[in-house]
Amino acid sequence: MVSLRSAPHRASLLICLVLALLTVNIHAQAELEEGPVPGKEAYEPTPRFSEAIIANGFIFLSGTPGTANTTIQEQTAEVLMSFNETLSMLGSSLDAAVMSRVFLNNTADFAGMNSAYTQFFSFNPPARTTVGAHILGGSLIEIDIMALQA
């Protein structure tokens, strides 16, 4: 059994509850705008998913992996630049990011990822969870972002 006495466990539980409530609220109010972001080249992944969802004043960007055969710093920068472009097309930016989740194929890449990541979030960075995970396709990293809609 997990103790909720420690701050990290309480914070994780709080984040899970907030995301669950947002999901319920999204479906209950049917205020969901779904589909590929206009102006960006779309592809048909399997299974089908949306690159971005706008709901209740938030923009949810799907997890995006880095390009294989590049360094962790290059992949981190590539994904975050792509997110900034997408958010810009939606009238927002990385400055409005409130939460990110970073999945590393190898947790030993944390320092390299963090050095590139902090270049994009030097002031008031979003809350972040970083975990080790098996990432498909040879990528070293996958990131998703939740930002405020401007």
Write the pLDDT tens digit of every residue in 46-94.
567 789 999 999 999 999 999 989 999 999 999 999 999 999 999 999 9
Cis peptide before 38 (omega within 30 of 0): no
Position 44 pLDDT exceeds 90: no
Contact 141, 65 (CB under 8 A): yes
Q: Residue 71 is which amino acid?
A: T
Please name the residue that has the structure tokens 């958010």: 87
What's the pLDDT at 150? 79
Distances (CA, A) of 33 to 45, 69, 147: 19, 35, 15
CA angle (143 as vertex; 63, 17 as ends), nearest 5: 75
Q: How high does pLDDT run on average in the chain? A: 80
Position 6 pLDDT exceeds 80: no
Position 96 pLDDT exceeds 60: yes
| Average pLDDT, integer, range 31-47 | 51
Per-residue pLDDT band for 37 (boundaries 50, 70, 90) equals: low
Cis peptide before 65 (omega within 30 of 0): no
Higher pLDDT, 126 or 3: 126
Per-residue pLDDT band for 40 (boundaries 50, 70, 90) equals: low
What's the pLDDT at 99? 98
Burial zone of 122 (CB within 10 Å; 0-12 exposed, 13-18 middle, 19+ buried): exposed
Position 149 pLDDT exceeds 70: yes
What's the pLDDT at 49? 75
What's the pLDDT at 5? 54
